[in-house]
A = this chain, B = another copy of it.
């Protein structure tokens, strides 16, 4: 199976970058399935039904979220009727609307399990991400029920991300991080066959502080005072993601390469 995963879409620049690039990338890379982290799609904070639909229309199969899941209050109801939108799976049962994992059918009958999970180091203490992810995978094992399993781990600390990746090694097709808004260059296939990258990076304008116009974030670090709001930077986005090819016999990865298109960062597109 040919899969692409794209990191945190930030604001209008990120949405436009993604929606412009995705149709071509789907064709060029012959993608079967596309997951996009969209927690910052709506003006940098959360997601709206309108912005979600733009991304489905451009070729996203599933959208994932993170700590910004609920920044737009409409998401509380939107997520209940939209099975393609996933919030972190490790909310205690009964506390959050929507779902954190879904099994999706491809037109040809293959099935992909996708989940979004929040890590805990320097973040909110949701339920144990290691146990939560294990539980989801065990309910729908790779090769037996799911033809591919994609884990979006939304987290800050590299140690926790690498630990979770290796904890899942051999049981998922791809474990990829989001949230830091900076792509890492450590894409690889772990020893037991799981594709891994610590962070997918954002889809947004990199001439910014992780997607926001630079002045206010710098000002806050320097003065510890607010002098305005955070607003998404509006320059051309770099669309950042990952291309993964799996072996349909096992669901494990045979190829894992970065995708970076447009904007400030060096362009790289896998050759298929």
Residue from the list B70, B190, B222 in contact with A167, Cβ < 8 A: B222
> Which B residues are CB-close (under 8 A) to A190?
207
A207→B191 CA distance, assembly (Å): 8
Residues of chain A having any CB pair with chain B under 8 Å: 70, 91-92, 95-96, 120, 122, 124-128, 130-131, 156-160, 162-164, 166-167, 180-188, 190-191, 198-199, 201, 206-210, 214, 217-218, 221-226, 240, 258, 260, 264-266
CB of B159 within 8 A of CB of A217, answer: yes
> Which B residues are CB-close (under 8 A) to A185?
182-185, 201, 240, 258, 260, 265-266
CB of A120 within 8 A of CB of B125, answer: yes
Copies in the assembly, this chain: 4
Most buried by B among A95, A190, A199, A224: A224
CB of A210 within 8 A of CB of B265, answer: no
CB of A182 within 8 A of CB of B198, answer: yes
